[in-house]
Amino acid sequence: MTFKNDTMASRRRLLAGLGGLSLMGVAACAPGQMMRPGRVSGLAPFDVTPPLAPIRMRPDRISKITVCLRPFRKAGPRLDVETVGDKTIVHNYGHGGSGWSLSWGSGTIAAKNALSTGEKDVAVIGCGALGLTAATLLRRAGANVTIYASERTPYTRSARATGTWSPDSRIAAVGSTAPGFEEQWEEMCRTSYKAYQTYLGLAGDPVEWTDRYSLFDTPPGPGRVTPHDPNGVRFVDYVERVRDITPRGVDLPAGSHPFPTPYARRGSSMQFNVAEYAHLLLTDYLLAGGQIETMTFHTPADLAVLKQKVVVNCTGYGARALWKDESIIPVRGQIAWLIPQPELHYGLYYRNVSVLPRRDGIVVQYVGETEAWGYNDDNETASRTEAEAAIATIAGLYRRADRTGS
């Protein structure tokens, strides 16, 4: 079977591409104790499930609840160039759930467009994933760069992202992209992937590979089913174009993992520890001579106050209001953050709940039955009820494991 790797948006792909563990052994362990399943027929000796620390799934361990609105555009990210007054505007926004994942690739396109004007003094609007990356690339190319933003990391919307490698998560809708977009996406994906390999192994683990386990009570399908939202949108699925850099998940036979579900898959994916990674990006940018100024823009006409003639627009969901871009559709996602557990090195998916342990907290998120969950929902108010329900789903899995025993 063919499986995919995702964040619910690629999360779901991840889910489909992940491997599973059984909660049996994990839950039965004493706090901090690791389960060590024995050798099981069906898996090679080198492919057995490693020791797994239990996740403390309790609502009293919630440290915060955040909501992020993913900026989805049916046509895909806006990467064109236009003139407003005496300014050349280079657009770089609308990446859906793929902002962090594609930032180096789309930033490369934006930087090239900006530098093609011949100007060496460039403004970047936005200090999130795309703004920081585009500014860094421009600075490396020798441009004088100033970021203008009303908020800085870690207070931008992109700082609330799940933080998993999901390069085609709600990146566009089938039938709505321009000719050549699929090839452009692949180029952005490969460029970003190559850049992220240089962050592996650094202090603080800004980027790391982790195992993910998907657990099922009934036989899982052969892969991700491309979903439809109530308005008929169908998200593109490009993962097969980059299968050479996308590890495949494997089914785990019963008894080879510590969870109580009859079906399980294990896979691997990159993740971004956003707090550390964004801090590193910002620090490197400033050390390289980049500048940041606090400024808020309400209309494109406000850009006239800038001294720079070239402006790279990396405002993400904010472009909907600033640029009056009604093509941006919000896709709501909420995360309950649990207190970090340094001993955790694996992600988990069960009954539409995704768990991803990061160095800055354990991400617990209800992701819905399809990627259309949260589609066209601009409510940024956190729901404690939703958060506790997601935690209860995974906690129930551990209780089953405890009753079953290892």
pLDDT one-digit tens code per residue, 90-103: 999 999 999 999 99
Q: What percent of the chain has pLDDT over 90?
A: 76
The tens digit of pLDDT for each residue in 334-376 reads 999 999 999 999 999 999 999 999 999 999 999 998 888 999 9
Segment (H or E) for 196: helix 181-197
The tens digit of pLDDT for each residue in 319-336 reads 999 999 999 999 999 999
Q: What is the pLDDT of residue 68?
A: 94
Is residue 20 very low, low, confident or very high in pLDDT (cuts 50, 70, 90)? very low
Examine residue 2 and state whether it is found in any structural domain, yes or no: no
The tens digit of pLDDT for each residue in 202-214 reads 999 999 999 999 9
Q: What is the pLDDT of residue 405?
A: 57
Q: What is the pLDDT of residue 19?
A: 33
Examine residue 14 and state whether it is found in any structural domain, yes or no: yes
Q: What is the pLDDT of residue 351?
A: 96
Sheet holding 87-91, edge to edge: 81-84, 87-91, 310-313, 121-125, 144-149, 291-294
Taking alpha carbons only, the member of 167, 186, 214, 162 closest to residue 374 is 162
For 41-46, what is the mean pLDDT? 55
What global pTM score does this model have? Answer: 0.88
Q: What is the pLDDT of residue 75?
A: 97
Sole residue written with tokens 């441009």: 143
Examine residue 117 and state whether it is found in any structural domain, yes or no: yes
Q: Are 215 and 23 in contact (CB under 8 A)?
A: yes
Residue 29 scores a pLDDT above 80? no
The number of domains in the chain is: 1
Q: 19 is written with which tokens?
A: 């491997």
Q: What is the pLDDT of residue 398?
A: 84
Examine residue 98 and state whether it is found in any structural domain, yes or no: yes
14-23, 237-246, 301-310: least confident range: 14-23
Residue 35 scores a pLDDT above 60? no
- Gap between the Cα atoms of 253 and 250, Å rounded: 10
- Gap between the Cα atoms of 311 and 146, Å rounded: 10
Segment (H or E) for 131: helix 129-140
Q: What is the pLDDT of residue 30?
A: 41
Nearest 5 degrees, angle CA 74-CA 77-CA 82?
115
- Gap between the Cα atoms of 223 and 209, Å rounded: 21
Examine residue 36 and state whether it is found in any structural domain, yes or no: yes
For 116-130, what is the mean pLDDT? 97
Examine residue 317 and state whether it is found in any structural domain, yes or no: yes
The tens digit of pLDDT for each residue in 47-67 reads 677 888 889 999 999 999 999
Examine residue 219 and state whether it is found in any structural domain, yes or no: yes
DSSP secondary structure letter of residue 114: H
The tens digit of pLDDT for each residue in 163-212 reads 999 999 999 999 999 999 999 999 999 999 999 999 999 999 999 999 99
The tens digit of pLDDT for each residue in 244-291 reads 999 989 999 888 888 999 999 999 999 999 999 999 999 999 999 999
Q: Are 188 and 233 in contact (CB under 8 A)?
A: no
Examine residue 1 and state whether it is found in any structural domain, yes or no: no
Question: Where do the DSSP E strands lie in 295-374?
Answer: 310-313, 328-338, 346-350, 353-358, 361-366
Range of the domain at 26: 7-404
